[in-house]
Amino acid sequence: MQSWTIFLLIAKNCMETNNELIFLWGKIPSFKIRSEIINPP
């Protein structure tokens, strides 16, 4: 969970200048949700 949080912070900082990361940012949460549904914590 800690590495996930760090990744989010890095991505958030980069989003301001990287449109591709903005696109990926929109994909990651839904992927995480699907992963938790398939493999509950």
Size of the chain, expressed as the number of residues it contains: 41
What pLDDT shows up at residue 19? 64
**Domain limits, the chain:** 2-38
Residue 27 · residue 33 · CB < 8 Å = no
12-25 in b/e burial notation, b at 16+ Cβ within 10 A?
A: eeeeeeeeebeeee
What pLDDT shows up at residue 30? 62
| Cα(3)–Cα(9) distance, integer angstroms | 10
- State the DSSP code for 16: T
Q: What is the pLDDT of residues 8-39, one digit of tens each?
A: 777 776 656 566 666 666 666 666 666 666 66
**Measured distance between the N- and C-terminal CA atoms of the chain, rounded to whole angstroms:** 11
